[in-house]
Amino acid sequence: MSTLKFAVLPGDYIGPEVMTEALRVLETAAAGAGLSLQYATADVGGAGIDNHGKALPDSTLEVCQNADAILFGSVGGPKWETLPPKEQPERAALLPLRKAFSLFANIRPGLLYSELTDASPLKLERIPEGIDIVCIRELTGGIYFGQPKSTVQLENGEFQAIDTMVYQTSEIERIAEVAAVTAKARDGRVCSVDKANVLETSVLWRKTVIEYFAKNHPDLELSHMYVDNAAMQLARDPNQFDVLFTENMFGDILSDEMAVICGSLGMMSSASLGTQQNSHDLPFGLFEPAGGTAPDIAGKGVANPCAQILSGAMMLRYSFGQLQLASEIENAVRKTVTIDGLRTGDIAFGCEPVGTVAMADAIIANL
């Protein structure tokens, strides 16, 4: 492998600003390893609506289809908030992308460096050494995509809306496998989160997970937790978890909770892996920061580029198999914000904040 071919979808507001810096970091890392980048940039989200009339234009989808991975920025913002919910950038870009590439496995690291514990809303004594957990969320099933899904007007004039939560054994098994592989590379502990005291889908989820781990991963430590308790335990003692793994909507909620207890959203990256293999026989994936478009700070050159840069590192790891290079980027980010003490405003706490470009320059210098 000498050329890394990926699609770049910067999106809206701070999306393009941090994407520019992530690409600079990736260029430097790749050049150092004798690799070259070949990427095609396309509009998505609000930029897609403004320039092509649609949050996920067909031309953008085509760019993605011709790539081995997607590096995604962030989409949405006040400009498009008056559109009907189905047409808004987040929903109309992300959900069809997930469906189009069967991106069923969302991997979000919940990492808080020990030097950054100030950034967490949790009391220091609960996280003296920072936080290091991972949330694995099922991303293409459950109540997000289940049919029927509709809104109808009843004879008495009332409106009635229906969403349907659906899971099949195979969907549960394939995400269980991702959780298991993730745990194997870590502390070997998986906590499966469900609502098996109430929901049929959760009863099937728990049964399937128990059988799957007994048969395929008896060496891993498997536990189960109801989602309400998991939400509480995350806030009480996040490090009791190693790998948290759960269905789509529970994962949506828990991964945001995890993000906030890990401090700045500007540091949170994520990977969404699909069922398709790319031209390197590795999973095709979409890699995006978790923080959103931050319209309030867009255009000021102060956004934290780390989450986008770390998402680029995840892309190198999962879709290009460049484990060493991914770690080098992660270490450079870590050194920059901890040892060098360079901080953007979101993680500054009294330090003199640096801008987006200066932060990326320092990370590049550390590579």
Active site residues: 144, 195, 228, 252, 256
Select the residue interacting with ligand IPM from 12, 21, 43, 90 (CB under 6 A): 90
**Signed CA dihedral, 170, 173, 177, 178: sign only:** positive
**Signed CA dihedral, 227, 232, 235, 238: sign only:** negative
Kindly compute the dihedral angle of the four CA atoms of residues 136, 251, 295, 130, in this order, to the nearest 10 degrees.
-60
Nearer to ligand IPM by Cβ, of 40 and 95: the residue is 95
Q: How many residues form the binding site for ligand IPM (CB under 6 A)?
A: 5
For tokens 């950038």, name the residue.
Answer: 89
Nearer to Mn ion by Cβ, of 69 and 290: the residue is 290
Instruction: Judge residue 291's burial from the number of C-beta atoms within 10 Å of its C-beta, 0-12 exposed, 13-18 middle, 19 or more buried.
Output: buried
Q: CA-to-CA distance for 149 and 162, rounded, in angstroms? A: 5
Nearer to Mn ion by Cβ, of 252 and 257: the residue is 252
Interaction between residue 99 and ligand IPM (CB under 6 A): no
Interaction between residue 94 and ligand IPM (CB under 6 A): yes
CB of 56 to ligand IPM, least distance (A): 12
Select the residue interacting with ligand IPM from 24, 52, 79, 91 (CB under 6 A): 91
Name the phi and psi angles at 160, rounded to 5: -135, 130
Binders of ligand IPM among 233-262, rule CB under 6 A?
Answer: 252
Q: CA-to-CA distance for 285 and 103, rounded, in angstroms? A: 7
Stretch that binds ligand IPM, among 57-65, 90-98, 117-125, 352-360 (CB under 6 A): 90-98
**Signed CA dihedral, 120, 266, 66, 51: sign only:** positive
91 binds, among ligand IPM, Mn ion, none (CB under 5 to 8 A by kind): ligand IPM
Closest CA to 2 of 26, 38, 56: 38
Stretch that binds ligand IPM, among 20-28, 89-97, 203-211, 223-231 (CB under 6 A): 89-97
Interaction between residue 115 and Mn ion (CB under 5 A): no
Cα angle value 179/142/81 (rounded, 5°): 110
The widest CA-to-CA distance across the chain, in whole angstroms, is: 69
Nearer to ligand IPM by Cβ, of 72 and 113: the residue is 72
Stretch that binds ligand IPM, among 48-56, 88-96, 160-168, 309-317 (CB under 6 A): 88-96
Rg of the chain (C-alpha set): 20
CB of 90 to ligand IPM, least distance (A): 3
Report the residue number whose CB is nearest to ligand IPM: 90
Nearer to ligand IPM by Cβ, of 16 and 289: the residue is 289
- Residues in touch with ligand IPM (CB under 6 A): 90-91, 94-95, 252
- Residues in touch with Mn ion (CB under 5 A): 252
